[in-house]
Every structure is written in structure tokens, then in C-alpha cells.
Amino acid sequence: MSNLAISDWRHVSLTMDEVGPFRRGAETVDFMGDAPSLEEADQPPGPSNLYMLLARNGHGKTTILETIHGLFGLLASPVVGRFADPEAEGRAQLDVRATWTIDGRTSTVLLSIWTGSAGPLVSWTGDRLEDEAQASSWARLGLARGPGSVQPTEGSDELGVLFFREVVAAAGRAPAGTFGNAFDLPSVLLFPADRMLMAPPGRRSVEPPDNWVYQPAHRFGTDGSSWNGSIENLLVWLAWIGEEQLEQALEFINQNMFDGDKVLRPPTRRDLVTHVSTATGDHPLSGLSHGERALLQLYLRTIAHMSRNTVVLIDEVELHLHTRWTHRMYRVLKSLLRSLPTLSIVFTTHDRELIKVFDHRTLEPGLVKGGILLDEEMT
């Protein structure tokens, strides 16, 4: 098998047809960083690493995120996401540009992943591949859900099948570090609008967390409905497998989430409880505000489960957050993108005031901002 290494993973476009509210023929979301649908913006060329989808409810914001997650969910084991059902409606194609190194030879490749049809929905041939996608090769991977497994369609090519095999072979491997240090292969982390953090029920023990292994698609909704699916279990596990990983996670949280008035402590080894120290004493994680718990989940899950080439999808980014927390969250996400150049973030909102916080017209080092206004009535 060829030795495949991937870097600089960036979404270029997503095309959907008969998916959710997108039923007027194929419609495309462009992730290039010119933000034409918001207002005029002078952004550097290339795919965005920070992208805003703005619309009222019911105009397709969530569908876009779930479609991206669903395409990668077809590569997961077991299959997850909106296309996991063999009878799922619709066609979709995601185009991604990345640097591929195969057996020591490096090139810029545009990978098209699609489902719902034998061939690609969008063709990248001739000058279009070089001029619009800024790539030298086009890799094609169609995915069809059969009775027992997902397989490449006839429209796939050798490069697409190579990518498919590499991802399938890596699924299930345990990571060896935080902040994406474990895997080169790409992943998608979806934070749906129903995310929240609760105190886990039942007995506590030292066990691997749910979703700990590499998978191309993760979904993090309500956190804490079980011990293995809780943030506290994740912190306990980090403490047991290596103090360095736990220290990195706690340092990030304490530097970026709190203003010095609170400190997240390592889990106690006696009762496996994680406390937050404040001026009034130590309190369990359940003592944090709703907004603080939501941010804690977002930050910890991202730094613990990301690979070197991860796209984080956040639905209704302002949910549960006071305006002050929203502003702080944007600062943290921008800092994370600057420190981790292979990370990308796509988020949705129906709050038009967040455009001011997003500040897409201002160039910022390490950021390529983009966005689209899905609902013309919000202009």
C-alpha cells in the first residue's frame, strides 16, 4: 500500500441537490475566502479557515453542516450521519483541497467526495482545476451505502480509492496526543445545536471515553448522559494515560476560558471528580454556568479529538452564551486557528449582530474569513 500523508486540508465547495431545503436543483456553498454574500471584503485568496453561515431558522444552515458531517460519516465505522440510511434522499459533493505526499512525491490535490449518484455532481477538469481550485490533480471518491458496508462507486478513481482505504484502515486507532498530534488523516467534529453539559450519572471508573479513537466523523451533542460520554470521563482518562496531555488541556482552558477568577483542576484520583477552584472554594463542573459548560465542551472536545486536518462544525454558535461569552469565544477560536494552521471552523448563526464580531472585512494574521447569507430577508 502507498504511504499517504496529508496536510493543509481546506474545504473548497459543497454542492447539494434534493437535500433538506435545497430542492431547486443543485446549489453550491463556496468556502473560498472572499465572503461575497455578506458585504465587500478584501480577503486573501484561497479556502477559508473561518466561515460563517448566516440565516434564520429553516433556511438550510444546519443541513449544510449535517451534509458535510454525513459525507465523512460514510467513511466512519460504524457509518454515521444523515447518509447512513441506504434509503437517504439527495445528492451531495464536498470538494477539498490538500497537499498529498505519496511515496515521497508531493502535489496539491482536489478531492471530491460525493454520494447519491454514480458520478460527481461537479466536474473539475482543464483550466478550472488549476485556476479555481488551485490544484494540480483531481481525486474522485463516490460513496454508495450498501446492505453491509460503504464502497466506492464506479466514478471513483485510483487516488480517491487510495484515500478511502487509508481512512478505513486508520479508523479505530487510539490517539497518542492532544491538539491533533496523533493523525494526519482528516476528521470532522460536529457540535449540533442540542449540545449541553450535565453531571454524569452512575459509577465512575477509569475507562476509555466514547469517541476516543480516530474516526473521520464525530458528533458531540448533549454531554454527560453517560459516564463514558462525559467531559469528566475525558479528563480522568487524560490524567491516567499521560499527565502531559492533561496539563496541555488544562492550560488551554485556564488561559482562554477564565479571566483568572476560576481554575480548572486535575481530577482527583480518589473519587474521579474534577473541580473548579473559585474565590468561594472548590466546586464540581456542574457548578459552572450553562454558557461556561457549553464552552468547556466545545474546547475540550476539539483539542482532544481533532486530527492534524480537522474541520470543526458549530451549529448556532451563540447558543447558551451571553454576549460577553460570545466575544470571548471568538477570540479563543481565532487564537486556536492561528496556533493550529491545519484547523478550520465553519459555524452557523441567525444573529445578524454577530457579523460585527466576526469582522470579515478586517484582515487578521493567520485567518482567511468567508461566509454566506442564506436568507436574503436578513439583509
Grid cell in block for residue 178: 492532544
Q: Residue 331, Cα to own-chain centre: how many angstroms?
A: 18
User: What pLDDT does 76 receive?
Assistant: 94
Rounded to the nearest 10 degrees, the angle between the axes of helix 231-241 and helix 290-305 is: 40
What's the N-to-C CA distance of the chain in angstroms?
52
Nearest to 186 by CA among 2, 9, 4: 9
Judge residue 276's burial from the number of C-beta atoms within 10 Å of its C-beta, 0-12 exposed, 13-18 middle, 19 or more buried: buried
Confidence at 33, pLDDT banded by 50, 70, 90: low
| Percent of the chain whose pLDDT exceeds 90 | 50
Which residue, chain included where needed, has cell 468547556?
A: 296
Residue 281 is predicted with a pLDDT of 92
Q: Could you tell me the pLDDT band of residue 38, with boundaries at 50, 70 and 90?
A: very low
pLDDT per position as a tens digit, 219-278: 998 888 899 999 999 999 999 987 788 998 999 899 888 878 899 999 998 899 999 999
pTM metric for this prediction? 0.93
| Cα–Cα dist 355/352, whole Å | 6
How far, in Å, CA of 326 to CA of 345, rounded? 15
**According to the model, what pLDDT value does residue 2 have?**
56
Instruction: Please report the DSSP string for 280-347 in residue order.
Output: TEEEEGGGS-HHHHHHHHHHHHHHHH--SEEEEEESSTTTT--HHHHHHHHHHHHHHHHH-TT-EEEE
Q: Is 65 within 8 Å of 20 (Cβ atoms)? A: no
Task: Specify the CATH number of the domain 4-378.
Answer: 3.40.50
